[in-house]
Amino acid sequence: MRRFKRFVSDVVDTVMAGVMMVLLLGGSAVAAVVMIVLGVIGAAASAVVWAAAELWRGVTGHLPGVLLALAVWALLWEVLQ
């Protein structure tokens, strides 16, 4: 549930940033839509990777290196966009 709330928060933040870009900065609506779509994809990828990592840890008791690397990549994706 915490991960879902984080996903919703990320999506809302991305949409608000896109709207502010158009309204306040006079940016292109197309650029705002692209930014929103990429933000939603990044938030979804992050949520899926973290959920898979938590599921794997619940089953095996440890995190595999591949899922950990994907989780770090998803986190970097969110930070760098």
Q: What does the domain layout of the chain look like in residue ranges? A: 2-80
Residue type at 41 in one-letter notation: I
Model pTM?
A: 0.55
Of the candidates 7, 4, 31, the residue with the CA atom closest to the CA atom of residue 17: 31
Predicted confidence (pLDDT) per residue in 4-60, tens digit: 777 777 777 777 777 777 777 676 777 778 877 877 887 787 777 777 777 877 887
According to the model, what pLDDT value does residue 1 have? 67
According to the model, what pLDDT value does residue 15 have? 77
Of the candidates 40, 31, 30, 32, the residue with the CA atom closest to the CA atom of residue 78: 40
According to the model, what pLDDT value does residue 64 have? 67
